[in-house]
Structure 1
Amino acid sequence: MTADRSGPSESTAAADPLGLAMLAHHRDEPGQLVYRDGTDVRDGNVAEFYFSSPESWAPATVTVLDRVAEREPILDVGCGAGKHLLWWDERGVEAIGVDVSPTAVRTARERCEVRSTARRSGDAAERGVGGVLAGDMFDLPVATGAVGAVHAVGTQIGLGRSLAGIRDLLREFARVTDDAGVAVVDNYDPARLDDDFLGYRSDPREGIAHRCFHLEFVRETNGEQRREVGPTLQFLLCSPGRLREATVGTPWTTARVSRTDEDGHYSLELRKGNRDGPTK
């Protein structure tokens, strides 16, 4: 989960439904997370999205994780419950997580601490997870040039809300990476989306659309049902070509575009100083 600059109302600014849902699932506590756009409601699929095992991941996902691992230490932006941190940890790759949700950070820390304890008890070499930090992706709590790669998947780059906003975010990713830095981001291509895509908003510009929804977490506390309602999240959806436009004026160039499935989702691998053009 990552920060959005959509100006939440005072009543929802501190709400953290996604983080609470992650922590509840981790601790095997009841509750339901949903995505809501008006009357359109979808299940949050917490187990599938944030706690899935690597065996269920698409081959393209594992390929990207492997490629990023070559540029450790990695900064996993919007790390959520830490599933990718744990994957790298198993392979002895140094990775740091950051998430705007303090409850997601707590969840990821608890999961990573369990793994670290298991590694110590087995006398395994301790390298792995370098920590999980609470912070805003637009102002990362990481020193300049501190990491070799930024991994920011989950389409949170769309929270820049415009190509200019995405460009600002890419500049922040450039700040925290070294001179040979790599970044992986993802988004949805509007030209490949179905009409029932949750929260879809059209735009007259080619290769551009928008997405709006909010999250709700419902749980029972002391015999009473409580509903945690988050702020409205506003994403820019853009084609790979339009996302490449956002790299203009930054140190990044596109090294690779990967279509990951049939619903318009894709990932973009960016590198500093690469002028050879993207590979498919």
Structure 2
Amino acid sequence: MGIMELVAKQPRIDDAFGRVLARCWESGAAPWSAVEVIERDDGLITANDAARYFSEPAQWSALDRWAWEQAEGRILDVGCGGGRHAVEWVTRGHEVVGVDPSPGAVQITRERGAKAVVGSVPSLPEGLGEFDTIALCGASIGLLGGPEQAPQILSALAEVTNPGARLIGTGTDPGDGAGTIHADYHLWNLSRGRARGQLRLRVRDGAVATPWFDYWLASPDELTAILDRSAWTLETLDRDPTGSGYAVSLRR
């Protein structure tokens, strides 16, 4: 097989996530109208119903609803996706700014009536102003990336908040992976000096893919250890009694 053949088989790097969301939104967010394919760096492929990015509060987990309800004042919705949280805050009269690296996701959020800009942490766009709440809902604690990236991201978020601001969000405890298909991946991560639940992912849409990015399934203990090196103090951490999820509220 020649070099040109190998190159031709590589996906084109573009806004695959935005393309998936656009198809789903155009269908009226009908279940399974579009599929989000996620590739992990060990070759694992998973598929999710993209309609989850347009779900309403009644469909959210109890932890996510709790975190969403804690928002107050001016809100920065980090990883806003299709605007499922931002739009609902707007209906309650909050001023919300969503931020997402996907131009397609940002466009949809705007079409749905919430402000949004293209960007990501820790390099937030300039001119956002200051916020009373930073929101990492929908398990977006994972966007902290990993133990090395998290302090810089938390610092960048603190820099765009008012004194006494809150950071609210939900995350997932990876556990030890024993007896699951993730056990070998956890061990591989540890052998590379990475956190057990630190995922290297990209979204695929046919022959198009997003750039690779880190997404951190941090245990509560890992998360609280990171806070010791940040401007944030833990207020509450509530676990799902029947699953691996948890919700946090931090105070600047």
TM-score by length of 2: 0.80
Instruction: Give the secondary structure class of the aligned counterpart of 1:103.
Output: helix
1:74-223 paired onto structure 2 within 5 Å: 74-112=75-113, 129=114, 131-141=115-125, 143=127, 146-191=130-175, 195-197=180-182, 200-202=185-187, 203=190, 208-218=196-206
Instruction: Give the secondary structure class of the aligned counterpart of 1:55.
Output: helix
2:3 aligned partner: none
* 1:52/1:83 contact within 8 Å kept: yes
Instruction: Give the secondary structure class of the aligned counterpart of 1:92.
Output: coil
User: For each residue in 1:245-266, what CA deviation from the matched residue of structure 2 results, as whole angstroms up to 9, or x when unmatched?
Assistant: 1112322110111224644222
Structure 1 unaligned segments of length 5 or more: list them.
Answer: 1-10, 113-128, 219-226, 273-280
User: For each residue in 1:158-214, what CA deviation from the matched residue of structure 2 results, as whole angstroms up to 9, or x when unmatched?
Assistant: 444432310111111111110011002333223265623599433279x84322332
What is the Cα deviation at residue 72 of structure 1? 1.2
Percent identity of equivalent pairs: 25
The whole-number CA distance in structure 1 between the counterparts of 2:245 and 2:62 is 14
CA RMSD of aligned residues (A): 2.9
User: For each residue in 1:229-272, what CA deviation from the matched residue of structure 2 results, as whole angstroms up to 9, or x when unmatched?
Assistant: 22333333321121111112322110111224644222221102
Change in Cα spacing, 1:65 to 1:96, as seen in structure 2 (3 Å) is same
* 1:17/1:216 contact within 8 Å kept: yes
2:7 aligned partner: none
Instruction: Give the secondary structure class of the aligned counterpart of 1:178.
Output: strand
Instruction: Give the secondary structure class of the aligned counterpart of 1:162.
Output: coil
Instruction: Give the secondary structure class of the aligned counterpart of 2:24.
Output: helix
TM-score by length of 1: 0.73
The whole-number CA distance in structure 1 between the counterparts of 2:21 and 2:82 is 6
Change in Cα spacing, 1:242 to 1:201, as seen in structure 2 (3 Å) is same
Change in Cα spacing, 1:236 to 1:91, as seen in structure 2 (3 Å) is closer
What is the Cα deviation at residue 91 of structure 1? 1.3
Q: Which moved more, 1:131-140 or 1:232-241?
A: 232-241
What is the Cα deviation at residue 51 of structure 1? 1.0
The whole-number CA distance in structure 2 between the counterparts of 1:90 and 1:61 is 17
Supply the AA of the counterpart residue of 1:247: L
* 1:158/1:166 contact within 8 Å kept: no
* 2:103/2:118 contact within 8 Å kept: yes
* 1:208/1:242 contact within 8 Å kept: no
Supply the AA of the counterpart residue of 2:219: S
2:51 to 47, 51, 61: 47
1:35 aligned partner: 38
Instruction: Give the secondary structure class of the aligned counterpart of 1:190.
Output: coil
Change in Cα spacing, 1:45 to 1:262, as seen in structure 2 (3 Å) is farther
* 1:201/1:212 contact within 8 Å kept: no
Structure 2 unaligned segments of length 5 or more: list them.
Answer: 1-9
The whole-number CA distance in structure 1 between the counterparts of 2:241 and 2:103 is 31
Q: Which moved more, 1:154-163 or 1:135-144?
A: 154-163
Supply the AA of the counterpart residue of 1:236: W
What is the Cα deviation at residue 58 of structure 1? 2.1
1:120 aligned partner: none
* 2:146/2:214 contact within 8 Å kept: no
The whole-number CA distance in structure 2 between the counterparts of 1:259 and 1:153 is 15
1:23 aligned partner: 22
Change in Cα spacing, 1:39 to 1:163, as seen in structure 2 (3 Å) is closer
Supply the AA of the counterpart residue of 2:205: F
Q: Does 1:246 align with 2:238?
A: no
